Amino acid sequence: MSSINLDTDFYETEDPIWNPALLTIPVPGIRRMVNLASTMEDVIHLSIGQPDLKPPEHVVEAAVDALHAGQTGYTMDAGLPELLEALAEYYGERYNRTLVPENIMITTGATEALYLALTATSAPGREFIVPEPSFMLYAPLIRMNGGVVKSIPTHAENQHQLDPQEVIDAIGPNTYAIVLNSPSNPTGTIYPRDTVEAIVQEAAYRGVYVISDEVYDHLVYDGKEYPSVLSCCSDLDHVMVISSFSKTFSMAGMRIGWLMASQGAIKKLRRYHMFTTTVANTPCQWAGVAALRGERTFIDNMLVEYQRRRDRLVDLVKATPHLTGYRPDGAFYLFPSLPEGVNGGNVALKLLRETGVCTVAGETFGDSCSNALRISYSTSWTKSKPPSNASSPGWKNKIGEESSG
């Protein structure tokens, strides 16, 4: 297979104006594949991590109504008061704990919340424990400020579950925080309650923060329980919980996220937030209020659709030679592994170029993941209009050829 250079030197430059910290930010593997796919026709995108369903009509109407009403000015730096109240009420009821608006800050999507949480806490010598594979933003944001990442690998053979004792044993004198993501991007794994409780309790005892990315907290299948860090901690003194409307209500482009923490932590982060985006989009914050206050049959219907897609993909992976799969409990991803020594990047390229199926190489999500692929089922294959050469047998044959070659 001829090689293609998909790297773009966005950051590598001898121009002294650029901060050397930018060199810690890799060219995203997702962007590489999507850029190549954009030059092709009839691509099946199993690479994108956003819902392809329209947001609920009452949510759209709320944003439009806010625009017509002239609600286009700045809100408080913490966010729209009505949205803060709605979030405190919703999550307080959902997880049976007392929350007040002062425990919450609205951000420009969960990405900004992650940026604020990780860059505000990372510093030279501080160590962050991160399960692997992990969402591609965590490690670069930690390293930008001189923080150190200690990875805890997980494996498809064990459904990428995290051993809480392994995490606890990894805590050392320089450990500042543990980063959790459940349901996980890229694995779809949900950590059970005993795992989350063990980690949160030990972290609190030892003065270590738990930063929990819970953007997929409503995408939980088969009626399983979802143990949020909010429902597993005794107080908020050493936790930060991050989420958004992007996945739950198909509002990815509206960019409304939030961070929940102790009132003291929120006060510090609000001051930092004023020097980043200052406030999130005002009409879209009103859409968020409507999402929380309105009926939620949209979520139920979304779960039915994504569970159907998941089951189809799990069956396909199971029937594909050389792939080790599992049944994810949440999100909309599967992260099957290839045989040891097989490069997932080469397999992803071969799939895209010869069958028109776009996936993401495992190495995007951690150094220990080079023999894996991330496959997303957030996009319907029917809507993608798959070409005839992207049928299931073609998929299976190409993976087999690369793995045995």
pLDDT the model gives residue 305: 96
Mean model confidence pLDDT for the chain:
90
Residues 150 and 194 grouped into a single domain:
yes
Length of the chain: 405
CATH of the domain at 316: 3.90.1150.10
Residues 201 and 221 grouped into a single domain:
yes
Residues 175 and 312 grouped into a single domain:
no
Provide the domain count of the chain.
2
What is the pLDDT averaged over residues 20-33?
79
pLDDT the model gives residue 379: 85
Alpha-carbon torsion (401, 402, 403, 405), positive or negative: positive
> Tokens representing 171?
């805590």
Residue 73 has pLDDT above 90, yes or no: yes
Residues 132 and 27 grouped into a single domain:
no
Residues 342 and 245 grouped into a single domain:
no
Instruction: Give the list of residues 6+ apart from residue 102 with CB closer than 8 angstroms, or none.
Output: 78, 263, 266
pLDDT the model gives residue 6: 44
Residues 40 and 96 grouped into a single domain:
no
Q: Where does the pLDDT of residue 384 fall: very low under 50, low under 70, confident under 90, or very high at 90 and above?
A: very low
Q: Where does the pLDDT of residue 9 fall: very low under 50, low under 70, confident under 90, or very high at 90 and above?
A: low
Rounded to 10 deg, the angle between the 282-293 and 81-94 helix axes is 30
Residue 5 lies in a domain: no
Residue 2 has pLDDT above 50, yes or no: no
Residues 393 and 270 grouped into a single domain:
no
User: Can you give the pTM of this predicted structure?
Assistant: 0.91
pLDDT the model gives residue 394: 55
Residue 392 has pLDDT above 50, yes or no: no
Residue 210 lies in a domain: yes
Q: Which of 244, 277, 293 corresponds to the end of one domain?
A: 293
Residue 286 has pLDDT above 80, yes or no: yes
Question: Which structural domain, as residue segments, surrounds residue 265?
Answer: 73-293
pLDDT the model gives residue 380: 76
pLDDT the model gives residue 318: 94
Q: Where does the pLDDT of residue 20 fall: very low under 50, low under 70, confident under 90, or very high at 90 and above?
A: confident
pLDDT the model gives residue 391: 45
Residues 386 and 260 grouped into a single domain:
no
Residues 39 and 79 grouped into a single domain:
no
CATH of the domain at 260: 3.40.640.10
Q: Which of 238, 260, 293 corresponds to the end of one domain?
A: 293
pLDDT the model gives residue 340: 92
> 8: burial class by Cβ within 10 Å (0-12, 13-18, 19+)?
exposed
What is the pLDDT averaged over residues 319-333?
95
Distance CA 268, CA 283 (A): 26
> 207: burial class by Cβ within 10 Å (0-12, 13-18, 19+)?
exposed
Residue 62 lies in a domain: no
Q: Which of 274, 293, 312 corresponds to the end of one domain?
A: 293
For 179-221, the pLDDT digits (tens) are 999 999 999 999 999 999 999 999 999 999 999 999 999 999 9
Residue 300 has pLDDT above 70, yes or no: yes
Residues 228 and 173 grouped into a single domain:
yes
Residue 45 lies in a domain: yes
Residues 107 and 189 grouped into a single domain:
yes
Residue 1 lies in a domain: no
Residue 284 has pLDDT above 70, yes or no: yes
Residue 97 lies in a domain: yes
Q: Where does the pLDDT of residue 326 fall: very low under 50, low under 70, confident under 90, or very high at 90 and above?
A: very high
What is the pLDDT averaged over residues 261-279?
94
- 405 or 203: which leads in pLDDT: 203
Residue 333 has pLDDT above 70, yes or no: yes
Residue 90 lies in a domain: yes
Residues 249 and 285 grouped into a single domain:
yes
Residue 9 lies in a domain: no
